[in-house]
Structure 1
Amino acid sequence: MKYKFAFFVYLFLNISYGQALLQGTVVDKETKQPLAFANLSIKNTNIYVMSDVNGKFTFTNVSKNEVIVCSYVGYEIGEFQVNEENSKKVVFELTLSHNELPVVVVNATDYLANQIITKVIANKEKNNPEHLKSFQYSSYNKIICDYKSLSENKNDSIKFRKKIKESHFFMMESVTERKFMSPDLSNEVVIATRVSGFKDPTFASIATDFQPFSFYNDNIKFFNVNYLNPISKGSIKKYKFHIEDTLTNEKDTIYIISYKPRAHKNFDGLKGLLYINTKKYAVQNVIASPAEKGRIDIKIQQKYALNDEEYWFPEQLNFAIQLNDYPNPKRPLTLDGKTYITNVKLNLPLDKKQFSNQVVVLDEHAAARDSVFWDKHRVESLSSIDKKTYRVIDSIGAKMNFDSYLSIMEKLMQNRFPLKYVDIDLSKTLMVNKYENLRIGTGFYTNDRFAKKISIGGFLGYGIKDEQVKYGGEVIVKVSKKNEFNLGLQYQNNLIETGYLGIQSSLNDFFNFRKFIGYQYDQFNQIGVSIHFRSFNYFLWDLRLNQTKTNPKYNYEFNNGSQSYTGYKNSTLDLNLRFAYKEKFISSLNQNISIGTQYPVVFISYSRGFKNLFEGNLNYNKIELAIEQSVFTKNLGTTTYRAEAGYVDQSLPYGLLFTGEGSYDKSVVLIMKNTFQTMTPYEFLSDKYVNLFLSHNFGGLLFKKNKFQPILSWHNNLGWGALSDLTHHKFVAFKTKTKLFLETGLQVDNLIKINCLNIANIGFGAGTYYRYGYYANPEFKDNLVFKFTLNFSIK
């Protein structure tokens, strides 16, 4: 009996070991970085597994003495024999292959690769997860920021690691819940976040959008550059595909296909690997990075899983960002992110009412989750370095008060700088124009430390050239943050440029250089009340009731026959409306940050003047409309337009009419968006007008030669206007454009690039505009205008 017992014990041990669990990781031998989607197989069998996004793999039934073969595109094949000592945990260290493959123009393998990609493109609509009726999922996200030592001297790497106390430079985690409803309704809530060094990381919601959710859009966008997807329609003419390996099992075949832009093709392309599963010819795995090296490199790795044996859905999303020259080429800053998607539910009966225009929201309790919560939701445990990062960086953050620097960043995005109980209004600080030359002064607003529901502010400034003081103040009552509902009371004694009322104020952004060349101003004394709010997600309203006394600061008299005056009083009800259909926002940094809309944005400005109300002199209706949009077209570039129109039903003083659309100034030779580049600032005057500014940016589609990659843009601007009563305006020069005003321009950006902090390039370019048609000047040279441009890029 005891022999039978011993036999069964022996048999059990052999079976237990014979069906051993083998786990491990595939890494690059030199860098020790994990290799995603490596192929591991038991030699002389069809049994194989694939490493995940993190290079990890698992065999569930490996017998003693069997040989595991590991292959990865671009690396030497590795082998490993299983025995009792090494079966617990394996690290495959693969060496880069230095064998150069012969160049083949067309072969049977490439022809087959093209056929496979054609089938993938044909099945894109069915396999795109964002074409499902609806879905929801949970995700665990982890981002690590570090310095990567590229020094050949190993001692340098060790010394540097000790400098940062053997921890990561920065680390953050988050748990999110997302729901989606076709075609484009999406809400993601960050229910938990933890960021090293910060107690209240209000920026955490931004970290969910470093890469596209799926690899099925025609264009993959990285850092505002649209890269042509290798599986978009027509990509076979742009990309070269090659089958690197083929994996088969009982059910399906997986083709590993490399891709890169074809030679002499000018477009923003990607390179990498596609793992195509013949089950629906879907993308099972993908590795992608820009084909051209820039200041910032990004690499994404995505893994998809088959849900319900029918739908391929993302399971793991990794990205790696490297600032190649920051802080220096030998020690670049890197950002590695991982996303694990779980609890996937497809085709749920969701309701549109469950969605808002905030695509990402930070839960108010997200930063307060305890260790029990994190232990439950972490997909991968924290390493010893991770834990040390929290200890070290948290202590540094508390000592240096990182959260205070974060609050400064929040305010800077609102054009303010925080002090204790007040914020400095940067938009009212050191203003520049040709009338005042330089305005010395600033503005202040109380902040949330003073009161959360009310803000009191004011400004004071002195013009160096006109030697006049400007001042004003306002009280704002914050009724509802959700609806952006504010009530206000304002008073100011200030200057306003002629023609700047209405939709022209919508052009007042940071890079609007047009304000620098203004020289014709009205002085006004104004008191008013205002209501500001958002409704139905996409409408932003601004209503004002104003009583204004205006005095032109130039030689002018208004004479309509029955009355004549220079200064005037004006009582108005003003409405400014912005409508941006399906505009999306990220709730971050204690504010809503717009990520734009693909639809046209509409601006409407209406002003009703009341004669005899608060001693008003004028009775009129004035309306303006503007529509603008940017449309990206695959293989063609980006087309942008802005159409404007305005109408006044009564004869009004000069300052209330339409002018100021020109931006030609010999001393400020910069291209100014949505203005006429060959027209002087106040050349024309109108009480009704139509303008169109149309441009097309070809990007890098036309010229690419090594690092010289100029960006070409074509511009066409046209305008029409009329003025009913020309004789009413005395002592001021102007024209009317009752015929079409026409100009065409060619702009070339990035002719010269200058390194900016080793992170980006400052690109300098130039443009030339030609004025033609009815309003062309007699001399050819007077119709030609040369201007310069300035932009930033990572390429």
Structure 2
Amino acid sequence: MKHSLLAFIFLISIQALAQTKVSGVVNDEFGDPVAFANVIFKDSNEGTITNEDGRFYLESSDSYSAIWVSFVGYELKNIELTARVTYDLSVVLKEEASSLDEVVVYSGKTSKKDNPALVILRKIWENRRENGVKKFDQYEYDKYEKLEFDLNTIDSGLIKSKVFKGMEFVWEQIDTSKITGNSYLPIFINEAYSKVYGDNLLNEEKEILEGNKNSGFENNQTLIAFIKDLYKEYDVYDNYMKFFDKAFTSPLSKTGIDVYNYVLLDSAFRDNKWCYNIVYYPRRKNELTFKGDFWVNDTTWAIKEINLQASKSANLNWVREVYIEQEFDVLNDSIFLITRDYFLSDFSLKKKEGARGIYGKRTTLYDNYQFDRVKDKKFYSEQTDPYAYEIYNRPDDFWEQRRMESLSKDEKGVYKMLDTLKTIPRFKSLYNIAATLASGYYEVGNFDIGPVFSVFGFNEAEGLRIRLGGRTYFSQNDPWRLEVFGAYGFRDERFKYGVSGKWLLDRKSRLTVFGGNRKDVEQTGASLTTSNDVLGRSLASSSLITVGANDKLSRINLSTAGFSMEPAKNLKFQLTGSYRTLESATETFSLDYFDQNGEIQSEISQPEIEFAVFYTPRRKTSGYGVERTIINDGDFPSFYLGYTYGLKDVLGGDFEYNKLQALYTQPWNIGGLGRLWSTIEVGKIYDPVPLGLLSPIPGNQTLFSIYNAFTNLDFYEFVTDSYASLHLQHNFGGRIFSRVPLLRKLDLREVVGFRAAYGTISDENIALNAPNGLLMQAPEDIYWEWSVGVGNIFRVFRLDFNFRGNYLGNPDARKFGVTGVFGFSF
């Protein structure tokens, strides 16, 4: 992953003149800013609208001598331009006496009655599913996509910074944004050309990448995929448009009337089609909404042009600006097909206008539409290899023929600039520092040392723990990988270790063999769905601060070997053989049980065979090596089904048993109400087994909020051989707090949670485990708890208040607890 998001993290932490540029602020006669006023070059269709503060920036490659500034209820203002570049204009609009009635209807919060804009909006709703490629049974088209990163808000302080000593030549590529007016330096460009095929009858679509070219960092497919996932494909006709894991209300949404004001501003011919121009802007602040305008045809009620700019008050982290433009063309005099899609994001640690940041820009062009050319269903299910060598090494004439939009002079210069930059030692040093912070590993040749964030730990068994490990790393597409670690506990004075290897034998089926051995301390009651991951280790066993005595830890010696394969995309079958020994790691915790002779045993020796099925529809990954990076983590459902057979008298195995487990987790975007995460787990062990092989309901004795664990339960408070659990967590994204004036500016987010578990334990298991002295209680009355939380504190922290619902009479039951979690989210 080190050649993926690290480039993005590094860049965010650190002029070619157009013919006409103008910026300024628009106020009324009382000095108040006029938001969403129209500013256009005189006698043209090139324009913009002011933001909430009345500010605007407008740029054109043509020469103009004047601008028009207008808004409903105000006199049209003509401003003469005396120079090619005119900044900081102060424009004052006067109210129009004859239009005062209109001002009552349309300024501020517009009326929902007798508003002609809403009549047109309802026509759009009625016809929105009857246009574009959805009008045909089958479709195909060519697609050209350009992704670009720019370092923005360039000033003399940055240019003279010691950070760029020896790299001053990069400033030769400085340009100015036509959207924001800020100066910027292009630093990364990626071009991709694809063929897209779709079948509306089969509900299938397939995109075949035919060419990819980039400047910047090598092996950056993950970075590209990450940015493309941020800029997901969207449809302005949908009720909600998802960006940065947030659901923005579309101005064409059927619920838009409740969150937007609409104004019918103009009507005119657009490419020989009579269209209406509607301006829209938010009714309230802090909601995930846009401002802008669109042109809609008067017969098909299809959108001809639309621009969307996210409200600056939207509850969105690290993103200062979002701007979208879409253009549509007419086919057969009635069908509108998208031809251009432009998306700009301004990423910054601060929302202040003068703060530095990174522009992320995506331009997508569509051409050569073909319809009703049938392809077999097998065509859509066949997997293609998007990482073939020739795709990433197309000659220049390939791009000259297929680019639907020529690169600018500055964009062409980026390729040369970054090739030079990568040869400078100082840049290499900065890049290596960023690589370590992003990946958690420090590179030494083809071996990575780390993870650096797990060097120190603490638990009741080991006391202070030091861990050092590493992995082989030649590239993100390595066909094999070896990982090792060593650890030492100063309290138990024991050395621990782990070694694991995996090898991808076949890329098409992803046939992989793996194996390893680990000798370590583990919290075996930290999850219901067990894992045979050799190098996996629970956070619960290494927390520096715990609630109560977390002494229920085990010593484990685990060896595994197996193989996996993917016969279809995101469907994986895995067969694993394992052998483990378990014993208590502390004097205050016992795993004792009766053997078949009635004698007490304190160590478990157990071989197992597990067959598992993993299905993750809609999951997106990057890379084709033995390990791939998930680029849309938390955005797809996940299914797991596992069967485990315990072997007795094989390799000294103590028990024969059968176990079934299943897990289903699903994230849900609930429109403007936020995002819900849900998880259901069920399982059953069909034969008597000792405590170390049973299924404890996972507790949480740390001060961290851990999803899929029960915050107010101690470890082993409930133990089961049959169980079912439910976890729900909903983030409202600030929808409630945004309506509270004193909280609105804090951009806080409301989080609620509910957790429940049901389980049983047989009399045979209670009798078998009698010697360990543990109260073998199962939640047959359904244990439950709930929580409320405040998220986005300082944009990186969430605080949860957790309440226990029942079983309040259990010894040392925790009725209430406070936990927190750090995390990066938009």
Does the alignment reach a TM-score above 0.5?
yes
Report 1:194-593 matches (<5 A): 194-198=213-217, 200-202=219-221, 203-209=223-229, 210=231, 212-248=233-269, 252-263=273-284, 267-293=287-313, 295-296=318-319, 297-324=321-348, 329-330=353-354, 332-335=356-359, 336-355=361-380, 361-400=386-425, 417-424=442-449, 426=451, 429-448=455-474, 453-499=479-525, 503-505=529-531, 516=543, 519-553=551-585, 554-559=589-594, 562-564=597-599, 565-587=601-623, 591-593=628-630
Aligned partner of residue 397 in structure 2, secondary structure: helix
2:146–2:363: 8 Å Cα contact kept in structure 1? yes
Q: Aligned equivalents of 1:103 and 1:651: distance in 2?
A: 77
1:570–1:618: 8 Å Cα contact kept in structure 2? yes
| Residues 656-684 of structure 1 deviation map (CA, whole Å, 9 limit, x = unaligned) | 00115111x3xx32322111111112211
122-131 or 566-575: bigger deviation: 122-131
Aligned residue in 2 for 1:175: 192
Matched, 1:690 2:743: no
2:20–2:85: 8 Å Cα contact kept in structure 1? yes
Unaligned runs of 5+ in 2: 1-16, 25-35, 50-57, 96-102, 174-184
Question: TM-score if structure 1 supplies the norm length?
Answer: 0.80
Aligned residue in 1 for 2:55: none
For the structure 1 residues 237 and 403, does the alpha-carbon distance in structure 2 shift closer, same or farther, using more than 3 Å as the test? same
Aligned partner of residue 604 in structure 1, secondary structure: strand
| Residues 422-477 of structure 1 deviation map (CA, whole Å, 9 limit, x = unaligned) | 33352975455443344323333334489955444433221233221112334433
User: Alignment partner for residue 778 of structure 2, among 728, 736, 740?
Assistant: 736
For the structure 1 residues 384 and 787, does the alpha-carbon distance in structure 2 shift closer, same or farther, using more than 3 Å as the test? closer
Q: Aligned equivalents of 1:327 and 1:116: distance in 2?
A: 35
Amino acid at match of 2:605: K
Amino acid at match of 1:338: T
Aligned residue in 1 for 2:648: 611
Q: Aligned equivalents of 1:510 and 1:347: distance in 2?
A: 53
Matched, 1:654 2:705: no
201-210 or 306-315: bigger deviation: 201-210
1:528–1:544: 8 Å Cα contact kept in structure 2? yes
Q: Aligned equivalents of 2:261 and 2:212: distance in 1?
A: 42
Q: Aligned equivalents of 1:450 and 1:194: distance in 2?
A: 18
Matched, 1:715 2:753: yes
Q: Aligned equivalents of 1:780 and 1:489: distance in 2?
A: 42
For the structure 1 residues 581 and 267, does the alpha-carbon distance in structure 2 shift closer, same or farther, using more than 3 Å as the test? same
Query: Deviation at 1:789?
Result: 3.8
Amino acid at match of 1:630: P
Aligned residue in 1 for 2:677: 640
For the structure 1 residues 415 and 563, does the alpha-carbon distance in structure 2 shift closer, same or farther, using more than 3 Å as the test? farther
Query: Deviation at 1:778?
Result: 8.2
Aligned partner of residue 747 in structure 1, secondary structure: strand
Amino acid at match of 1:575: F
2:195–2:210: 8 Å Cα contact kept in structure 1? no
1:689–1:719: 8 Å Cα contact kept in structure 2? yes
For the structure 1 residues 586 and 459, does the alpha-carbon distance in structure 2 shift closer, same or farther, using more than 3 Å as the test? closer
Instruction: Give the number of aligned pairs.
Output: 731
Q: Aligned equivalents of 2:160 and 2:476: distance in 1?
A: 47
Report 1:141-152 matches (<5 A): 141-149=145-153
1:52–1:303: 8 Å Cα contact kept in structure 2? no
Amino acid at match of 2:639: V
1:150–1:331: 8 Å Cα contact kept in structure 2? no
Query: Deviation at 1:26?
Result: 8.7
255-264 or 194-203: bigger deviation: 194-203
Q: Aligned equivalents of 2:537 and 2:363: distance in 1?
A: 35
Q: Aligned equivalents of 2:431 and 2:160: distance in 1?
A: 30
1:514–1:672: 8 Å Cα contact kept in structure 2? no
Q: Aligned equivalents of 2:158 and 2:685: distance in 1?
A: 71
| Residues 63-121 of structure 1 deviation map (CA, whole Å, 9 limit, x = unaligned) | xxxx999767769776999xxxxxxxx99999785427656455699710011111112
411-420 or 717-726: bigger deviation: 411-420
Instruction: Report the identity percentage.
Output: 19
Matched, 1:746 2:794: no
Q: Aligned equivalents of 1:732 and 1:290: distance in 2?
A: 61
Q: Aligned equivalents of 2:800 and 2:306: distance in 1?
A: 41
2:77–2:93: 8 Å Cα contact kept in structure 1? no
Q: Aligned equivalents of 1:542 and 1:414: distance in 2?
A: 27
Query: Deviation at 1:302?
Result: 1.1
Query: Deviation at 1:338?
Result: 2.5
2:470–2:483: 8 Å Cα contact kept in structure 1? yes
For the structure 1 residues 744 and 456, does the alpha-carbon distance in structure 2 shift closer, same or farther, using more than 3 Å as the test? closer
Q: Aligned equivalents of 2:607 and 2:154: distance in 1?
A: 68
Query: Deviation at 1:238?
Result: 2.1
Aligned residue in 2 for 1:166: 172
1:327–1:333: 8 Å Cα contact kept in structure 2? no
779-788 or 245-254: bigger deviation: 779-788
For the structure 1 residues 489 and 148, does the alpha-carbon distance in structure 2 shift closer, same or farther, using more than 3 Å as the test? closer
Amino acid at match of 2:800: G
Query: Deviation at 1:177?
Result: 0.7
Query: Deviation at 1:170?
Result: 0.8
For the structure 1 residues 718 and 478, does the alpha-carbon distance in structure 2 shift closer, same or farther, using more than 3 Å as the test? same
Q: Aligned equivalents of 1:601 and 1:496: distance in 2?
A: 25
For the structure 1 residues 243 and 100, does the alpha-carbon distance in structure 2 shift closer, same or farther, using more than 3 Å as the test? farther
Aligned partner of residue 385 in structure 1, secondary structure: helix
326-335 or 599-608: bigger deviation: 326-335
Q: Aligned equivalents of 1:423 and 1:108: distance in 2?
A: 62
Query: Deviation at 1:740?
Result: 1.7
User: Alignment partner for residue 136 of structure 1, among 137, 140, 161?
Assistant: 140
Q: Aligned equivalents of 1:596 and 1:717: distance in 2?
A: 22
681-690 or 363-372: bigger deviation: 363-372
Q: Aligned equivalents of 1:424 and 1:615: distance in 2?
A: 37
Q: Aligned equivalents of 1:792 and 1:582: distance in 2?
A: 23
Unaligned runs of 5+ in 1: 1-23, 43-47, 60-66, 82-89, 754-760
Matched, 1:726 2:766: yes
2:532–2:578: 8 Å Cα contact kept in structure 1? no
Q: Aligned equivalents of 1:373 and 1:451: distance in 2?
A: 26
Amino acid at match of 1:258: V
Higher strand residue share: 1
For the structure 1 residues 211 and 699, does the alpha-carbon distance in structure 2 shift closer, same or farther, using more than 3 Å as the test? same
Question: TM-score if structure 2 supplies the norm length?
Answer: 0.77
Aligned partner of residue 720 in structure 2, secondary structure: coil
Query: Deviation at 1:574?
Result: 1.6
Report 1:692-707 matches (<5 A): 692-704=726-738, 705=741, 706-707=744-745
Q: Aligned equivalents of 2:312 and 2:476: distance in 1?
A: 51
